[in-house]
Structure 1
Amino acid sequence: MSKPTTARRLISYALVYKFRILGAMLILCCSVAAELGGPYITKTIIDHHLSTGAQEIAPVLKLLGLYMGLLLTAGLCNYSQAYILQSTALQIIKNMRMDLMQHIQRISLRYFDTTPIGQVVSRIANDTEAVRDLFMSFMATFVVSIMQLIGIYVALFLLDWHLALYGLVLPPIFVVIMYVHLKYSKIFITIMRARLSDMNAMINESIVVMPIIQAFRREKVTLDEFEVLNKDRYVNQLKQFRIYALSSRNVVGTIGSLVTAMVIWYFGGKSLGSAISFGVFYAYIDYLGRIFQPIIGIFDQLTNAQRAFVSAEKVFTILDMEGQDVEKVGHVQRPEGIVKFDNVTFAYKEGENVLKGISFEARKGETIALVGHTGSGKSSIMNLLLGFYEPQEGAITIDGRNIKGMSKQALRKHMGIVLQDPFLFAGDIKFNVSLYNEDISLDRVKGALRDVGAAGFIEQLPNGYDEQVVERGSTLSSGQRQLISFARALAFDPSILILDEATASIDSETEGLIQRALKVVSEGRTTLVIAHRLSTIRDADQILVLHRGEIAERGNHDTLMALGGRYAKMYQLQKGASAVVG
């Protein structure tokens, strides 16, 4: 089944508020009718004046009163329809932005592995804003202009159908000009939107790694790279403006002036009295001049409309991606935590397996350590267990149940994770531990921080547990951030605790605190540890040594040391390095 076009999908968003839009259209019709009644009344006044010789003033005053009433009615209607249409447009974009944000939560992590963060931000912020311009421009300008054109031509035919036929020459000319404008303008607008996404991605990356840029003196190179993107966008924007300047007010105004001059010249060479009345001629010239304003209005909004369609295509591309619903999870029975990998094979890219036939079992309360060189597949095992990816072959079970058929939210409800590079959100410390989970009280937060040895430095902060930290927690040391991240995992009281190189960036004293806390908190929990510091996993129940996606060795510390294989060599190397440093 083919996907609906961008236009149809945009219309589907608008149809949610069809009654408000229809109401605004009715008000708009009244507004147009009131505005276009003015020249007709003026024509009547002129004809009356010429026929009676200005001897009867009462009818003229009535007509003038009616004219003023129509102007006031038109003003009120214009305000009402503009407010209704533009408030509706804002509501539509609010819904679209929420749909996009919700869908991003459902998309597989594979998308974020290959897509710069800045591009995703550009879709949510910039592209939806461009679509907003479409709805506001279309409903507040396009529809208004079209209604005005229809009303003008109706009025022209009511005046004199012979004269109205001259005006019918204009629409085909303007349609051709619009077609050419849209055809060539879209090329440059597409490039401009792509460069904006690239610039957002580069800005985001530069801010995140600013210490690296400054430390390695990459400021000028970074600026040069940004200038290439910025200049390319500038050049294409100039080209688009040239098309706009040529085909909008310039062409429309010139054609309008020429047509008006031709009409005046044609009828000026004849006796108006014998051809048409002077009042009809005045009203015709007035209506003819009004034709060009809606046309210019449409031209002015073509660029916004085209930019919005290009942006909408990018937004709908994300919305079309497959994703899994974020389900509401109520009470989920706490699992015992028996984790089993049964001949699991996995690849991020088809044909490039990073895990090959992985099989192991972690019983309740056991600590399983994964060691190996970078790229051996340690983090991939954790990603599969958390349900971030699906294995190509084999099965992963918890308490004998295959996690493939489980809700991801239910799967992760009783899991805790601590990453090598901890992330702290903007907010206070207690929020970063509880994440606003209603089941986690302040006492529980303090207890978790105390268990991991973080209470000491937190209570010395000016605001204690209410101390504000900026995004990524850059006001704290790496060790302090890691301790808070560790406390976050413990506060959720998981059945399965995952430590992904959690002690890699912690000093020896802090590591000692965590090791003592681990002995307490891992009691009764299944703990899986990825470790580079082999000294931290000597007490693990089972150590799996990974090499090129396969389990090369397995056993506890003493067994593997006695084996004298890869683990023993890595341990001796680290021990020797520690001795040299010491």
Structure 2
Amino acid sequence: MSLEKENVHSGEIVDTQVLKKLYKFVKPYRAQFYFLVFLTISLAILAPTRPYFIQVAIDDYVALGDGEGLVKIIYLLIFLMLLQALVQFAHTYLSGWVGQVIIKDIRIKLYRHLLKMRLKFFDNTPIGRLVTRNISDIETLADVFSEGLAAIIGDLLQLITILAVMFYIDWKLTLVSLCTLPLLIISTYIFKEKIKVAFNEVRNAVSNLNSFLQEHITGMNIVQIFNREDRELEKFKEINRDHRKAHIKSVLYYSIYFPVAEIIQAIGIGLVVWYGATGVFDAEIKVGVLISFIMYLQLFFRPIRMIADRFNTLQLGVVSSSRIFKLLESDEQIPNEGSLKPEKIKGNITLENVWFAYNEEEWVLKNINFEVKHGETVALVGATGAGKSSIINLISRFYEINKGSIKVDRTDIRDFELNTLRKHIGVVLQDVFLFSDSIYYNITLGNPNISREEVMQAAKLVGAKKFIEKLPGGLDYNVKERGATLSVGQRQLISFVRAMVYNPEIIILDEATSSVDTETEEMIQKAIEKMMKGRTSIVIAHRLSTIQKAHKIIVLHQGEIKEVGTHETLLEKGGYYAQLHQMQLKSMAI
């Protein structure tokens, strides 16, 4: 298996279009967001107050021996520190809260969007990538609010405030303090560019890990059946090594940048001490001013050191947002413009000149025409790839036809509201998917309108009641992921019960008995006959013995209808169906 690498383009640091789209999710929480902005501004204003009042305390009270005034200023300092701590707490908590509620809304919207996507989209998109979109990428958005945009604004405001106060106190000492600033800006820019590339590599590695694990854990039985554990482990080690290298590269850049920034800051403080001490000796600079400037420098350099990291956090958030909005804005959804919502339908089905291709012009179905009347059972027969499953997928609108029309009760299926159309169609597939939940949930799929009595009544009709009652907890028995604790036949029986409790007017059976033994098949056939009574039924079966009572058998070959008739007439005809029948008789005799 080859893992497709996902390119992450850095783009602009601030993509206004993406930020505008993000703001739509902020709107329901505008009051909290604006209060967060207020707290950010408050922190920027409070930050330089402590050094200023320490300067005042030293120069105006300590130097003059004013103990009473010093006590007052100390009380004021304690109050300001407590106020700053309280504002910092509120800012940290609220920024995290805003980020989490917004990503909760985005994640729900994205999942709701995925629920409406065409199956073709899932055919072409790795599941691991969708998991990354819904979890990792959205999680990154939380950092945009808690560590990205709000933090950058706060840092910039703090820098401006500190600079303004420093120039107000002593402009010469301020210029000396800023001598090393160009070095810090250059090193910060280099770090920002390097860490940006490293972060992008980390995102690629995470996406590849998710895709690999999702696919291989799901297909673990194939890995073990073909004894590929060692080979797949080596592939996983290789992907994991790429992930480790990407992370170590980012750690390396951090381990270089922060010591360099500390050295530059230390040089700046050293210059301030040297120049300031000279001024103190000459009585041009007060001691309190010198001490406050050392504190201002520490406050000033800290946000500059952090701002590169903040910008990368913001940029990664913008990149993740672009990916998410691209998915949200995709047109891969099945159009649901129909407005018809009938409570009941008869179930007449008509396919007129239907053409369909999964990929453009690679026709899977070519000019398909047939009708299934209310109460009839029609069987679709043909070799693998003939187009049988494609027909039933089109009737339920899991895929859209390219040309022609499909009608139910002489109404185009596109005129029905999508959920209403599917409510009237019950589908039993060969590959039964069960969720890691109780049998009751897997049958009702969480529908509160279906009672346990109805479930057990349907289970009794199908013949599943006996084995369900033997399980620990009965209907509450957890079948684990994909129904791993049940046999293939038991999973199939549950799928029959699931179809029956919804009481649809149209029943579609896709190889529904191919995975069960002969004894279970006979039991299911009896249940199928009861289930089909009074309903329109379409049956796909490789075992031709199961469809001999069908009102009509349609023989498909390479996407075209080759023969139509009853079991007897088709045998008499001696065509494609007769050959299939003869081949199955020989295989059974062997």
Equivalent-residue separation in structure 1 for 2:62 and 2:217 (angstroms)? 75
More displaced 10-residue stretch of structure 1: 384-393 or 43-52: 43-52
Name the residue aligned to 2:515: 505
Equivalent-residue separation in structure 2 for 1:196 and 1:466 (angstroms)? 37
Name the residue aligned to 1:36: 48
Measured against aligned partners, the alpha-carbon deviations of 1:212-267 in whole angstroms (never above 9, x if no partner) come to 212221001111111221112222222233333333x1232122122222233334
Q: Is residue 169 of structure 2 the alignment partner of residue 132 of structure 1? A: no
1:224-263 counterparts in 2 under 5 A? Answer: 224-247=234-257, 249-263=258-272
Match of 2:285 among 255, 267, 276: 276
Q: Is the 8 A contact 1:272 1:278 kept in 2?
A: no
Shift of 1:171: 5.9
Q: Secondary structure at the match of 1:544?
A: strand
**2:441 partner amino acid:** F
Given the superposition, is the C-alpha separation of residues 328 and 145 from structure 1 closer, same or farther in structure 2, using an over 3 Å criterion? farther
More displaced 10-residue stretch of structure 1: 222-231 or 463-472: 463-472
1:100-115 counterparts in 2 under 5 A? Answer: 100-115=110-125
Equivalent-residue separation in structure 1 for 2:279 and 2:496 (angstroms)? 94
Q: Is the 8 A contact 1:419 1:502 kept in 2?
A: yes
Name the residue aligned to 2:10: none
More displaced 10-residue stretch of structure 1: 170-179 or 257-266: 170-179
Q: Is residue 380 of structure 2 the alignment partner of residue 380 of structure 1? A: no
Shift of 1:342: 0.3
1:421-500 counterparts in 2 under 5 A? Answer: 421-500=431-510
Q: Secondary structure at the match of 1:468?
A: coil
Q: Is residue 57 of structure 2 the alignment partner of residue 48 of structure 1? A: no
Name the residue aligned to 2:327: 318
Shift of 1:176: 4.3
Shift of 1:169: 5.7
Equivalent-residue separation in structure 2 for 1:388 and 1:511 (angstroms)? 28
Equivalent-residue separation in structure 2 for 1:237 and 1:277 (angstroms)? 48
Match of 2:299 among 290, 293, 311: 290
**2:386 partner amino acid:** S
Name the residue aligned to 1:180: 190
Match of 2:95 among 66, 85, 90: 85
More displaced 10-residue stretch of structure 1: 334-343 or 420-429: 420-429
Q: Secondary structure at the match of 1:17?
A: helix
Measured against aligned partners, the alpha-carbon deviations of 1:180-214 in whole angstroms (never above 9, x if no partner) come to 33333333322322222222122122222222212
Shift of 1:492: 0.7
1:285-434 counterparts in 2 under 5 A? Answer: 285-322=294-331, 323-324=333-334, 332-434=342-444
Shift of 1:96: 1.3
Name the residue aligned to 2:569: 559
Equivalent-residue separation in structure 2 for 1:108 and 1:434 (angstroms)? 23
Measured against aligned partners, the alpha-carbon deviations of 1:107-144 in whole angstroms (never above 9, x if no partner) come to 22111001222221121122212222232212664343
More displaced 10-residue stretch of structure 1: 438-447 or 297-306: 297-306
Q: Secondary structure at the match of 1:361?
A: strand
Name the residue aligned to 2:9: none
Match of 1:571 among 555, 560, 581: 581
Equivalent-residue separation in structure 2 for 1:176 and 1:574 (angstroms)? 78
Q: Is residue 34 of structure 2 the alignment partner of residue 22 of structure 1? A: yes
Equivalent-residue separation in structure 1 for 2:303 and 2:209 (angstroms)? 36
Name the residue aligned to 1:6: 18
Equivalent-residue separation in structure 1 for 2:522 and 2:211 (angstroms)? 40
Q: Secondary structure at the match of 1:427?
A: coil
Measured against aligned partners, the alpha-carbon deviations of 1:126-174 in whole angstroms (never above 9, x if no partner) come to 2212222232212664343233222211221221233334455666655
Equivalent-residue separation in structure 2 for 1:458 and 1:57 (angstroms)? 85
More displaced 10-residue stretch of structure 1: 110-119 or 159-168: 159-168
Q: Secondary structure at the match of 2:358?
A: strand
Equivalent-residue separation in structure 2 for 1:557 and 1:217 (angstroms)? 44
Name the residue aligned to 2:161: 151
Given the superposition, is the C-alpha separation of residues 267 and 71 from structure 1 closer, same or farther in structure 2, using an over 3 Å criterion? closer
1:207-226 counterparts in 2 under 5 A? Answer: 207-226=217-236
Equivalent-residue separation in structure 2 for 1:505 and 1:157 (angstroms)? 83
More displaced 10-residue stretch of structure 1: 455-464 or 334-343: 455-464
Equivalent-residue separation in structure 2 for 1:555 and 1:324 (angstroms)? 34
**2:99 partner amino acid:** A
Given the superposition, is the C-alpha separation of residues 442 and 330 from structure 1 closer, same or farther in structure 2, using an over 3 Å criterion? farther
Given the superposition, is the C-alpha separation of residues 282 and 187 from structure 1 closer, same or farther in structure 2, using an over 3 Å criterion? closer
Given the superposition, is the C-alpha separation of residues 209 and 510 from structure 1 closer, same or farther in structure 2, using an over 3 Å criterion? same
TM-score (norm 1): 0.93
Q: Is residue 273 of structure 2 the alignment partner of residue 264 of structure 1? A: yes
Instruction: Give the superposed CA RMSD.
Output: 2.4
**2:105 partner amino acid:** N
**2:275 partner amino acid:** Y
Equivalent-residue separation in structure 2 for 1:345 and 1:368 (angstroms)? 20
Equivalent-residue separation in structure 2 for 1:497 and 1:529 (angstroms)? 8
TM-score (norm 2): 0.92
More displaced 10-residue stretch of structure 1: 56-65 or 537-546: 56-65
Q: Is residue 216 of structure 2 the alignment partner of residue 206 of structure 1? A: yes
Equivalent-residue separation in structure 2 for 1:571 and 1:164 (angstroms)? 96
**2:55 partner amino acid:** K
More displaced 10-residue stretch of structure 1: 371-380 or 448-457: 448-457
Given the superposition, is the C-alpha separation of residues 136 and 100 from structure 1 closer, same or farther in structure 2, using an over 3 Å criterion? same
Shift of 1:307: 3.7
Q: Is the 8 A contact 1:35 1:71 kept in 2?
A: no
Q: Is the 8 A contact 2:179 2:268 kept in 1?
A: no
Matched length: 575
Sequence identity percentage: 38
Equivalent-residue separation in structure 1 for 2:184 and 2:408 (angstroms)? 68
Equivalent-residue separation in structure 2 for 1:97 and 1:339 (angstroms)? 38
**2:296 partner amino acid:** Y
Q: Is the 8 A contact 1:182 1:306 kept in 2?
A: no
Shift of 1:286: 1.6
Shift of 1:327: 9.4
Equivalent-residue separation in structure 1 for 2:339 and 2:255 (angstroms)? 56
Q: Secondary structure at the match of 2:486?
A: coil
Equivalent-residue separation in structure 2 for 1:4 and 1:573 (angstroms)? 66
Q: Is the 8 A contact 2:177 2:272 kept in 1?
A: no
Equivalent-residue separation in structure 1 for 2:52 and 2:208 (angstroms)? 55
Name the residue aligned to 1:95: 105
Equivalent-residue separation in structure 2 for 1:559 and 1:420 (angstroms)? 28
Q: Secondary structure at the match of 2:367?
A: strand
